[in-house]
Amino acid sequence: MAELTFQELNLMQMLDVLRPGGIARLALARDGQPYVIPMAFQLEMQGVRPILHLASPAQGRKVDILRSNDRVCLEIELPSCAWIDTVLVEGRATVDAIQGGVEIRVQPHSMTGRRFFRPT
């Protein structure tokens, strides 16, 4: 199997992955059981602080989990021809009612990124 090589992304490169929005994998946990779901997200910048917004129906498993455990992780990928940029965001989520559902706002307390080069 070919060796996987990568490099760390800096803050500007990570924001370049987040800016277009798209699909993130939202990871939650309850009673030691993981729960991961793909969700659409949008990025908002509050000064130099990124905030990620996700929309959800007001009822369901993820909203129930968030009410008891607000710690979340998001994984976002942006592929290109020669590499895949991946950003992991860890933080706390708040759930606010909006018309037709809820908005999940994630304020990162840590963010890491890597560029994985495709084997040749």
CATH class of 5-117: mainly beta
Among 53, 49, 116, which Cα is nearest to 87's?
116
Write out pLDDT tens, residues 42-83: 999 999 999 999 999 999 999 999 999 999 999 999 999 999
pLDDT value at position 89? 98
Q: Which two tokens stand for residue 33?
A: 């059981």
pTM of the model as a whole: 0.91
CB atoms inside a 10 Å sphere around CB 19: 13
The amino acid that residue 65 corresponds to is I
Residue 1 has pLDDT above 70, yes or no: no
DSSP class of 2: P
